[in-house]
Amino acid sequence: MKKAKILVTRAVFPEVIARLEQYFEVEHNQADEAWSKQQLADKLRDKVGAFTTGGERIDAEVLAAASQLKICANMAVGYNNFDVPAMTARKVLGTNTPDVLTETTADFGFALLMATARRVTESEHYLRDGKWDRWSYDMFSGSDVHGSTLGILGMGRIGQGIARRGAHGFGMNVVYHNRSRLSPELEAECKARYVAKDELLKTADHLVLVLPYSAQSHHTIGAPELALMKPTANLVNIARGGIVDDAALAAALREKRIAAAGLDVFEGEPKVHPDLLTVPNVVLTPHIASATVPTRKAMANLAADNLIGFLVQGKALNPLNPEALA
Ligand code: 8YV
């Protein structure tokens, strides 16, 4: 029987390509070339499945060219690169990779929180620049993590992982805000107390953002929200660019209206707002929260499982818009 044709949009682990090749005729991009939207649309023209990452926008325009496409399997838990209503209208199923990255991403949220609170990169630059000639009593003094108040905005799986680390590992007082409250059992397990958003902003010593990006969550943290935060507070964004107004954040950091920020995601990434590059009290990383070898392998394999599950066995594992199949 002729194998179905799929496209893998970016370079990925060779063993995952080999797995996919057992089932499909695979057009891959192991050279990791940057394709234009038109190139992506052209390559999808004769494909029934696509393995995508968060960088490829699958919208009405791309879908219009991809008349045979049945499934897009994203190697990411977030899927704001998918225009889900447009996919549903075209009967294209979207899938994502939840669960497999939860603990790794929560680890990184904590790494960024710690690095920000204790000024790790700023002090390292000072040392590397040869500026360290003597000790002083206040050199790179930061803020305490243990015993402080950890605020979490967005209390899904990753938010809960961060809460557990904070409460159980660092004795932090954990408060959170979310669209819906957790069950009493989960709140007890995470030792987390639900508060209104304003209270979260006003009380957090360290505020971690872990909510999904959508038109509704655009600029959830802008100048008015930053104004509510303590001048000693740290802000950590491991969610998505666009949730924070980066220009407003850079101004707040420059004017020391908040103490520091740790950012793994940016508006318009991989471009970074130039003002963020010039303020010292910010730790910047290039969207690597899920980047450990085992986790990235698990994500890639889960995206492959979704393609194989759906196109070969008739059932996807992580469908985002099952109504597309109706
Ligand atoms: C991905 C992520 O690395 O899963 C997500 O939502 O943000 C990251 O883990 C990124 O989206 C590339 O696909």
DSSP codes of every residue in 139-195: TT-----TTSEEEEE--SHHHHHHHHIIIIIH--EEEEE-SSPPPHHHHHHHTEEE-
pLDDT by residue for the chain (326 residues), tens digit each?
Answer: 799 999 999 999 999 999 999 999 999 999 999 999 999 999 999 999 999 999 999 999 999 999 999 999 999 999 999 999 999 999 999 999 999 999 999 999 999 999 999 999 999 999 999 999 999 999 999 999 999 999 999 999 999 999 999 999 999 999 999 999 999 999 999 999 999 999 999 999 999 999 999 999 999 999 999 999 999 999 999 999 999 999 999 999 999 999 999 999 999 999 999 999 999 999 999 999 999 999 999 999 999 999 999 999 999 999 999 999 98
Report the C-alpha gap between 82 and 270 in whole angstroms.
18
**Residue 290 CA, closest ligand 1 atom number:** 9
- Strand order of the β-sheet with 282-284 is 192-194, 173-177, 149-153, 206-209, 234-237, 260-263, 282-284
Topology (CATH level 3) of domain 4-100+293-325: Rossmann fold (3.40.50)
**Residue 74 CA, closest ligand 1 atom number:** 13
Instruction: Take atom 1 of ligand 1 and give the residue whose Cα is closest.
Output: 76
Could you check whether 4-100+293-325 and 102-284 share the same CATH topology? yes
Give domain 102-284's CATH architecture. 3-Layer(aba) Sandwich (3.40)
Residue 273 annotated as catalytic: no
Instruction: Take atom 2 of ligand 1 and give the residue whose Cα is closest.
Output: 76
**Residue 105 CA, closest ligand 1 atom number:** 9
Residue 225 annotated as catalytic: no
Indicate which residue of 19, 119, 165, 240 is catalytic.
240
Instruction: Domain ranges for the chain, please list them.
Output: 4-100+293-325, 102-284
* 52-57, Cβ contacts within 8 angstroms, sequence gap of 24 or more: 52/9, 52/10, 52/81, 53/9, 53/10, 54/78, 54/79, 54/80, 54/81, 55/9, 55/10, 55/81, 56/9, 56/10, 56/81, 57/81, 57/83
Q: Taking the complete model, does pTM exceed 0.95, yes or no?
A: yes
